[in-house]
Structure 1
Amino acid sequence: MAILILVACIITLILLITWAKLNVFLTFLIISLMAALLLGMPLPHIVQSINKGLGDMLGSLVIIIALGTMLGKLVGVSGAAQKVATSMRNVFGEKYITWAMCFTGFIVGIPLFYNVGFFIMVPMIFSVSNRYKLPLVYVGIPMLAALSVMHGFLPPHPSPTALQIQFHADIIKVFVYGLAVAIPAIIIAGPLFATTLRNMKTTSVIAMSVQDMRDDKLPGLANSILSSLLPVLLIGLSSVFIRFAGNNIVLKNILGFIGDPTIAMMETIAIATYTLGIRMGMKLTDVMNLYAEAIKEIAMVLLIIGSAGILKQIFLDSGANAQIAATLQGLNLPPLMLGWIIAAILRLCLGSATVAGLTAAGIIYPVMQHTAVDPNLMVLSIGAGSLFCSHVNDTSFWVTKEYFGLSMKQTFLSWSLMETLVSVIGLIGVLILNTLVR
């Protein structure tokens, strides 16, 4: 029954947005209330779930999104993004620009969670698109594919790390096997798939790019790169140094604080305000006005992200996810395939890749006790399944749609299809590895 209600809610959500042209934020609120009532949630609990879903989702992202958008605005207006884009073209050439974006996403995706990586790197996507007059989605999908794969497959990201611990897998093997599976998935779902999107025209209301500036007015390349990628460097370096801190708790705490995504973004804004703003001749008041403009542009995006979190919370608090899990546990399939299918169905139902992966682990774990399946490969199988077909109940779907100015149809044909390719290719890679490492 829970599955039928969930399907009905998702279909209604799509129809209200595409056919009735309702505001996405209001539609999510309506569908969340509808789902709660159909699932029989007590009325007082519905309000609690709404508040928790909105608060939990925005609480972990709003500062990073806001600061990332501010940084993006400054990087664009100062000419730093133009400088980086020009240098990338000189190294890779316009013909291979999607491969450059893919490689950048791969490197950045190792230390950064997907959401953090997206908001830090989206200014570069806008800049390259504007500089070379290429569609945003064509430039962006290769980088998003790399970020998504790294988030779903490899430690230290939340889901694969938790799965590795739960299945008592070897973290080194998980990482090595994960790279073997991730690289083909990124290449196929990234630069190769992006060639089919070159003619997909979009119009984004979020302005992170500006008119070209004269070369002598641009900041230096080192300044541009460091200012743009400083959050990545702070987070990545702190993670590395923590591993060498031994039992020095004070040092670990300091490094952890410096490398926290929110703190790293605050540090970057403080530095970039000077290096890309004041040092380049801008007044402090002008920089602050840029930041205010940036926040106005993402107000609706923040509301949409928060409202998607409400729907996810309704399904969790109502117990619908437990009912779906119990139904799936009865399937009689090979463990690696079963783990992927369970994670994929939960991803379709719940939206969150992390929630889907962790829920699938709890379902498949008892099955693993009676089989000889490789736990390292099970981590990757569930990780691949948890990325399957992101759609309207996933915040990343709406973030991609709004930032790139896509229609619903275009978002399904680009973002959703890319995630599906990543998931299926990941499963194929896991099954091939399973035959080779036995």
Structure 2
Amino acid sequence: MDSIFGLSHTATMLIWTLITIVILIVLISKYKWNPFVSLLISALMLGLLTGMNAEDVIGSITGGVGGTLGTIAIVIGLGTMLGKMMAESGGAERIATTLVNRFGQKRVHWAMMIVGFIVGIPVFFEVGVILLIPIVFTVARKTGLSIIKIGIPILAGLSTVHGLVPPHPAPMIAIDAFDANLGMTIFYSLLVGLPTAIIAGPVFGNIISKRVQVEPPAELAEQFSLKSERELPGFGITLLTILLPVILMLAGSVAIIVDPAVTNGLTHFLTFIGNEIVALLISVVFALFSLGFARGFNKSEISKFTSECLAPTASIILIIGGGGAFKQVLIDSGVGNAIAELATSININVILFAWLVAALIRVATGSATVAMTTAAGIVAPVLGMSPDVSVELVVLATGAGSLFLSHVNDAGFWMIKEFFNMSVSQTLKTWSVMECILSVVALILILLLSFVI
């Protein structure tokens, strides 16, 4: 690799990396190129510009895609099936109606946050929104409350889980890249996620609903108001089905803490079923019965549900794979070490560094997934030179940064705008501000937690 303007080898690599990231952002944001294609082009460009052999660049890309998707693709597939069974069985509606009845009208917005948080565990954010929007309209109609006051808490719950809580793909990407402990990450994510969702959800929703007044789209409101009543699954069995993978993964981590040498047969068993793939597989099989056959669905219907839900996941899986390719080229080219040396020399807090990198890429590209995968590759080498930092908290900081400031380059921004019948200005004041609050509050809590861990 030739030096630029007589600069050092390290400085030259950093400049080429910056140029490549700018090109990646421009391709996705300005020219609307497919993120997967853009990530592959950027990975190729970075490898060649930093002096790697062409054959080595190809090897890094294929190795990065394969290594990243080895676990994540299975997690996404199984998680999507679990979410589909919950949707088709009416499980989300059962959780919502039960909590609304328990909390009462005055505290219904608190119930909505819990609904979003629980329902969000097995489903993608976009799926969760589509699943819960009918409940927002129904509760708004029954209580006479603003759909902003009811909707913002649900969105806060969904978004928090999406960015922070495994087994969602975003935190799983960072867990894999940073070699973090899954159970401890789940535990810390709940400690950080619940208060974060409360502040950005019910608290902020109650304030902003007094300043932004909207009416739900007439056609959608009518459609959901005419929705026929159906027998719903029980609250207990629905909650158990949704939380089962989290329970199994936490059990595996607790077993390791109690028996770190893994000398007991029970520890072996719990760590096996606590593996994210095994835990999700057990949960999906359980859901096929608890929310499938037990609800009267036949084998053909269940087969259809678990097959048709996979098609929409192809795009996100490829984007994650593309991010893995870019991450691997960053590492193999030596750029990762150059970034690590720079970050170490200026003594920046690794948690803050992870958040900043993810937040900048999120704002620029509009994609939390691209932000998470790209940031993981940049932060991993820095983390390797900071042994005293909690790896699990860096995972959460990266996830929090990937949620920052959803605006007009984010598909989710437009989905929220249309479903809530808001103008662009109103969407920025509600949804975009909520995402910023989520991200910043989570960062503050993570930094505070880092002082006691």
Shared fold (TM-score greater than 0.5)? yes
Q: CA deviation at 1:192?
A: 4.6
Identity %: 26
CA contact (8 A) 2:192 2:442 kept: no
**Counterpart position of 1:368:** none
Write the letter of the residue equivalent to 1:51.
Answer: T
1:58–1:306 contact (8 Å) kept in structure 2? yes
Pick the aligned partner of 1:421 from 440, 444, 448: 440
Tell me, yes or no, if structure 1 residue 263 matches structure 2 residue 274: no
**Which amino acid in 1 is paired with 2:401?**
C
Pair 263,87 (structure 1): closer, same or farther in 2 beyond 3 Å: same
The answer to which of 175-184 and 20-29 deviates more is 175-184
Rounded Cα–Cα distance in structure 1 between residues aligned with 2:317 and 2:53: 28
Alignment of 1:18-167 (within 5 A): 18-92=29-103, 99-100=110-111, 117=121, 119=123, 126-133=130-137, 139-145=154-160, 148=163
| CA 144–250 in structure 1, closer or farther in 2 if over 3 Å, else same | same
Q: Does the alignment pair 1:360 with 2:382?
A: yes
Kindly state the Cα deviation for residue 296 of structure 1 after the two structures are TM-superposed. 1.2
Evaluate the alpha carbon distance shift between residue 308 and residue 99 of structure 1 in structure 2; reply closer, same or farther with a 3 A threshold: farther
Cα pair distance change 1:194/1:65, threshold 3 Å: farther
Q: What are structure 1's unaligned runs of at least 5 residues?
A: 109-115, 165-171, 203-208, 366-374
1:117-168 per-position Cα deviation (integer Å, ceiling 9, x unaligned): 56489866543333214698862333443675577xx9xx959x9799xxxx
- Displacement of 1:429: 3.6
* Equivalent runs, 1:218-257 vs 2, <5 Å: 218-241=232-255, 243=257, 248-257=263-272
C-alpha distance 364-391 of structure 1, shift in aligned 2 (>3 A) = same
Q: Deviations over 1:78-134 (max 9, x none)?
A: 1122111211222345775664465578899xxxxxxx9564898665433332146
Is the alpha carbon distance of 1:256 and 1:35 closer, same or farther for their aligned partners in structure 2, counting shifts above 3 Å? same
Q: Is this contact kept in 2: 1:84–1:224, CA < 8 A?
A: yes
CA shift for structure 1 position 4: 2.6
> How big is the shift at 1:280?
1.8
Q: Does the CA-based 8 Å contact 1:230-1:268 persist in structure 2?
A: yes
Gap change, CA 1:343 and 1:226, over 3 Å in 2 = closer
Other-structure match for 1:281: 296
Task: State the alpha-carbon separation in 2 of the partners of residues 53 and 406 from structure 1.
Answer: 33
Shift of 1:241: 4.9
Q: CA deviation at 1:51?
A: 0.9
State the Cα deviation string for residues 284-306 of structure 1 (Å, max 9, x = none). Answer: 01110111110112121211121
TM-superposition CA deviations, 1:36-87 (whole Å, max 9, x none): 2222221111111111111122111111111111111111111122111211
Structure 2 residues not aligned, in runs of 5+ = 1-11, 138-146, 218-223, 362-370, 418-423
Measure how far apart 1:219 and its partner are.
Answer: 1.6
Q: Secondary structure at the match of 2:401?
A: coil
Matches within 5 A, 1:163-242: 185=196, 187-189=198-200, 191-192=202-203, 212=227, 214-215=229-230, 217-241=231-255
Q: Shift of the alpha carbon at 1:266?
A: 1.4
Number of aligned residues: 388
* Mapped partners of 2:242, 2:165: distance in 1: 20
RMSD, matched Cα: 4.9
C-alpha separation in 2, matches of 1:145 and 1:73? 20
The offset of 1:320, in angstroms, is 0.5
Report deviation, 1:416: 7.0
Post-superposition CA distance 1:235-258 (Å, at most 9, x none): 233444555568643222111112
Larger deviation: 409-418 or 247-256?
Answer: 409-418
Which residue identity lines up with residue 235 of structure 1 in the other structure? Answer: M
| Contact 1:65 1:119 survives alignment (8 Å) | no
- The equivalent of 1:316 in structure 2 is 331
Q: 2:94·2:235 contact (CA, 8 Å) conserved in 1?
A: yes
Give, in angstroms, the shift of residue 404 of structure 1: 9.2
Once residues 101 and 243 of structure 2 are traced to their aligned partners in structure 1, the CA distance between those partners, rounded to angstroms, is 19
Paired residues of 1:75 and 1:123 also in contact (CA < 8 A): no
Task: Show CA shifts across 1:389-437 (max 9, x none).
Answer: 3289xxx99xx95799579x99994797356414652476469x69xx9
Superposed CA deviations along residues 195-251 of structure 1, whole A, max 9, x for unmatched, are 76998x99xxxxxx9x95524x21222222222222222223344455556864322
Contact 2:84 2:306 in 1 (8 A): yes
Q: State the TM-score, normalized to the length of structure 2.
A: 0.67
Q: What residue is the counterpart of 1:205 in the other structure?
A: none
AA aligned to 1:39 is T
1:328-375 deviation digits (Å, cap 9, x = unpaired): 2222x6xxx64445444665688456666654344345xxxxxxxxx6
**What SS is found at the alignment partner of 1:16?**
helix
User: Is the CA contact 1:57–1:306 (under 8 Å) kept in the aligned structure 2?
Assistant: yes
Residue 7 of structure 1 and its aligned partner are, at CA, apart by 2.6
Deviating more after overlay: 341-350 vs 223-232: 341-350
Contact 1:70 1:295 survives alignment (8 Å):
yes
**CA 50–101 in structure 1, closer or farther in 2 if over 3 Å, else same:** farther
| Secondary structure of 2:345's aligned partner | coil
Partners of 2:328 and 2:377 within 8 A in 1: no
In structure 2, C-alpha distance between the alignment counterparts of 1:405 and 1:298, rounded to whole Å: 18
The change in CA–CA distance for 1:218 and 1:150 in structure 2 (over 3 A counts) is closer
1:100 and 1:406 mapped to 2: Cα distance?
Answer: 20
- Which moved further from structure 2: 381-390 or 258-267? 381-390
Contact 1:81 1:124 in 2 (8 A): no
TM-score scaled by structure 1?
Answer: 0.69
3-state SS of 1:132 partner: helix
